[in-house]
Amino acid sequence: LWTAEGIIEDAVAKVRKQVGNETVLLALSGGVDSSVVAALLHKAIGDQLVCVFVDNGLLRKNEGDQVMAMFANNMGVRVIRVDAQDRFLSRLHGVEDPEKKRKIIGNTFIEVFDEESAKLKGVKFLAQGTIYPDVIESAASKTGKAHVIKSHHNVGGLPEDMTMELVEPLRELFKDEVRKVGLELGLPYSMVYRHPFPGPGLGVRILGEVKREYADILREADAIFIEELRKADLYDKTSQAFTVFLPVKSVGVVGDGRRYEYVIALRAVETIDFMTARWAHLPYEFLEQVSGRIINEISQVSRVTYDISSKPPATIEWE
């Protein structure tokens, strides 16, 4: 019987059998898959689960607080929150190439995660939110390595000397099943049906060099866009929506003067598989509301544009 309850019962039994009394470590990103793994493992092994949440300075507004509120405060999950913002941002200083940025962010993440796991001493198990499509994908690619910290995929993998055994309770599930399991475990709908967010986060949504100032501006713009999408009941009608920071200055009028400030692009797409995507035909009135708020509330922004490119040939992200 393939119900969410059945899947959970089965997974709980398997995990308990696999790990016994040992501690299990999980990189919690706040995304759907790692969140569902956290909830599932918490149910299965309680305090034997230790989550590490890394703030890389490239997260969305209040993301760290929200993850702590939901998992640590509300559910009682052990979560270690690591503030590594300075480390990530200093490594990214002066780097403009998108693939280099991805590598730096991925490698720094692994380094931070490694340090945390070393502090815990003798942890034998590492949990990951690998889902069935990831398994197929890595089997299909010739260089495919299952050993990838999934929330930061497309970068490296675990260090060679990593000796932890993997715990992957979602390995046989499709995304819709993962979501149902999440709901059944009590995670809120808004989190289980959240749009995907790339591992490098805002790092690939700030074109070129990443600076803290840019990330702060982008976080505010993104929060406004998402808040308005939810208010207008459009969030669930788009597959992915976000803002992009363009490090160019464009003119605007403020009172009698002209001011040169940054540009924010809005991106929203509809897609089933993220391999192809159509730009979302959001209502003009809605776009007007979002652009008005961004320009009025963020003084460093003088212009908002809407991305009307579909994939292919454009990609969903701008880098």
Q: How far is the CB of 315 from ligand XMP (least distance, A)?
A: 3
224-283 residues in contact with ligand XMP (CB under 6 A) are 240, 274
With CA atoms as reference, report the closest residue to 111 among 76, 87, 128, 133: 87
Integer CA distances (angstroms), 254 to 259, 262, 295, 300, in order: 7, 14, 11, 12
The DSSP code sequence of 284-300 is HHHHHHHHHHHHHH-TT
Q: In this complex, which beta carbon is closest to ligand XMP, that of residue 56 or of residue 240?
A: 240
Among the listed residues 154, 190, 296, 299, the single contact to ligand XMP using CB under 6 A: 154
- The verdict on 133 binding ligand XMP (CB under 6 A) reads no
Residue with tokens 């579909």: 310
23-52 residues in contact with ligand XMP (CB under 6 A) are none
How many chain residues are in contact with ligand XMP, going by CB under 6 A?
Answer: 13
Q: In this complex, which beta carbon is closest to ligand XMP, that of residue 195 or of residue 259?
A: 195
**Phi, psi of 208, rounded to the nearest 5 degrees:** 75, -145
Sequence-ordered alpha helix ranges (H) in 128-193: 132-140, 175-184, 189-192
97 assigned binding-site residue: no
Site string for ligand XMP, 81-110 (x = CB under 6 A): ---------------------x--------
32 assigned binding-site residue: yes
Peptide bond into 312 cis (omega under 30): yes
Q: What six digits make up the tokens of 17?
A: 């059998």
Q: In this complex, which beta carbon is closest to ligand XMP, that of residue 45 or of residue 59?
A: 59
Q: Are 208 and 247 in contact (CB under 8 A)?
A: yes
Residues annotated in a binding site: 29-35
Residues annotated in a binding site for ATP: 29-35
* Residues engaged in binding ligand XMP (CB under 6 A): 102, 153-154, 196, 198-200, 240, 274, 311, 315-317
